[in-house]
Amino acid sequence: MILNKILRVKQDSILNLLSNRLVRKFFVSFKIYLYFRLGMYKTVSEIAYKGNNFYTNFAKAISFSAIGNREMANYYIANLLDKYKNRKKKQKEKLSRMLNPYYPELSLSILENVGVKDTRYFSLLLALDKEIKIKTQEIRIPEDWLFYLNLYNTQSSIPLPVKQLEYLNGFLNDYQLEKMQLINQKRELNVFNLTCVCRKIYSENLPLVSILVTTFNSQESIEYCLKSLLLQTYSNIEVIVIDDNSTDNTLEIIIDFMREDKRIKLISLPYNIGTFSAKNIGLQYVKGEFVTCQDSDDYAHPRKIEEQIIPLLEDNNIICTVSDWIRLDNKGNAYSRFIYPIMRHNPASLMFRKEIVLNNIGYWDYVRIGADSEFYERLKLFFGSKSVKKIRKPLTFGAHRENSLMTSKDTGYDSNGLSNIRLEYWEAWRKWHIHCCKNKQLLKISGGLSHRPFSVPKEIEVDLNLVKKSIKELKLYY
């Protein structure tokens, strides 16, 4: 009975449970599953357990897969499949789904074992370069459009960009979003070959939205990013670009845009301090009642700002909104490290009420990766899950590139699981959240730059003195 309640509890309540002394001391199996729910895979792998609880063994299996220890993952998965043969099909399907990004071969095997042969199954076949035989294309859910896009790209010697676009627009149409067009119909479908113009809504008398865009050597992408923001149907915006000491032509491109549209402002930093420290500096200059962000290699659907601000205007209890995205590579393939589904939560999509958020939880953490997830979870902890409105629509197209912060072997993800650095940081901030809940301390990162609230891996730590120097020596272009 207790475990069933824990399985359904929201993440902001999980921290309170982990702060409970009785749970920490006596309910080891519950504790393991709670840590698993928080994505603390390394912690889960380090806690000794020899019991037979299904959910605890489930947590162990996924956690060892996530940290790249397939030997131990195989041990726990074999136990699960052997001892719990009569478990519901749904639970085995969930095991398969969570193994997707870390152990796709085994995920596929589990689906075959339970007789699942839908888009999930075929997506795994495609990801593993296995033969696929489908007689007719059948679109049952929006996600099917993206699968058939990838299948078309794989099976065509020279994919036609117009045909690629048909699949993408079929997907968007299922979410009642306007179709995209190709800038150049002879070039492959990708983030830098998309455009879409929609009729603007009257927003001059509505609140100003400040959009933070950080750049670093972004000359290949910043043009498309800015164009997508200037084409927003909600036009009462300011775009604050914070350049993180680029050495290419990024600054010149931004300045050219500023001459054409006064809504763009530029902050040029003298040192490279990372995207989240740059955003924190940008926050000092925003004038909007609401703040959101966009990465310099992303393209926003024209409805993005409109779709995300409407819930905030209609309900004062909503503190922030988030939306989804899909990622495209340069050849027009839709990508997700989870393989299926491809449409995922966009960590950079957070739009929040500036004053109440900054006054209560403060700023992004001063690190080079992963601070968007920490900030989002901190916000949910303080204001509660009900203060967040999730817009389940693909409002952003992200560029999937090799050796980006997200795909780099050192700071992102690879075929063996999560990078140690990213996982260490995730666990560090989760432990800080738990500590603050346990001791009733305020979860806030101030802009004072006096000290770090918790330790992080040296590889991603930002020199706070360098941030201070950047604040003093930055250049403003208005």
HSE-up (13 A, CA, CB side) for residue 104 = 20
User: How many angstroms separate the Cα of 173 from the Cα of each of 143, 166, 307?
Assistant: 12, 10, 15
Question: Above 50 in pLDDT, residue 1?
Answer: no
Poorest-confidence range of 18-32, 318-332, 433-447? 18-32
What CA–CA distance (Å, rounded) separates 366 from 353? 21
Residue 17 predicted with pLDDT over 90: no
Beta bridge partners of 238: 210
Secondary structure of the chain in the HEC alphabet? Answer: CHHHHHHHCCHHHHHHHHCCHHHHHHCHHHHHHHHHHCCCHHHHHHCCCCCCCHHHHHHHHHHHHHCCCHHHHHHHHHHHHHHCCCCCHHHHHHHHHHHCCCCHHHHHHHHHHHCCCCHHHHHHHHHCCCCCCCCCCCCCCCHHHHHHHHHHHHHCCCCCHHHHHHHHHHHHHCCCCCCCEECCCCCCCCHHHEECCCCCECCCCCCCEEEEEEECCCCCCHHHHHHHHHCCCECCEEEEEEECCCCCCHHHHHHHHHHHCCCEEEEECCCCCCHHHHHHHHHCCCCCCEEEEEECCEEECCCHHHHHHHHHHHCCCCCEEEEEEEEECCCCCEECCCCCCCCEECCCCCEEEHHHHHHHCECCCCECCCHHHHHHHHHHHHHCHHHEEEEEEEEEEEECCCCCCCCCCCCCEECCEECHHHHHHHHHHHHHHHHHHHCCCCCCECCCCCCCCCCCCHHHECCHHHHHHHHHHCEEEC
pLDDT of residue 411: 47
Say yes or no to pLDDT of 407 above 50.
no
Domain ranges of the chain: 2-116, 143-194, 199-477
**CA triplet 64, 276, 230: central angle to 5 degrees?**
115
pLDDT tier at 50, thresholds 50, 70, 90? confident
* Pairing of β 344-345 and β 320-328: antiparallel
Residue 63 phi/psi, 5-degree rounding, is -65, -45
Mean pLDDT to the nearest integer, 373-378: 98
Which pLDDT band, with edges at 50, 70 and 90, does 450 fall under? confident
> How many CA atoms within 13 Å lie on the side-chain side of 353?
19
Pick from 26-30, 132-136, 350-354 the range whose average pLDDT is largest.
350-354
pLDDT band at 81 (very low <50, low <70, confident <90, very high): confident
Q: Which whole number is the average pLDDT over 233-258?
A: 98
pTM: 0.93
Superfamily of domain 199-477 in CATH is: Spore Coat Polysaccharide Biosynthesis Protein SpsA; Chain A (3.90.550.10)
Predicted confidence at residue 201, as pLDDT, reads 87
98 neighbors 62 (Cβ within 8 angstroms): yes
- The pLDDT tens digits for 137-193 are 999 999 999 999 999 999 999 999 999 999 999 999 999 999 999 999 999 999 999
- Give me the helix-helix angle, 54-66 and 70-83, nearest 10°: 150
What percent of the chain lies above the pLDDT cut of 70?
92
pLDDT in tens, 319-366: 999 999 999 999 999 999 999 999 999 999 999 999 999 999 999 999
Distance CA 366, CA 449 (A): 9
CB atoms within 10 A of CB 473: 11
Query: What pLDDT sits at residue 23?
Result: 60
Confidence tier at 449 by pLDDT (50, 70, 90): confident
The residue-averaged pLDDT of 66-90 equals 87
Strand partners, 195: 181
Find out whether 238 and 290 touch, Cβ atoms under 8 Å. Answer: no
- Angle between helix axes 420-438 and 11-18 (nearest 10 degrees) is 70
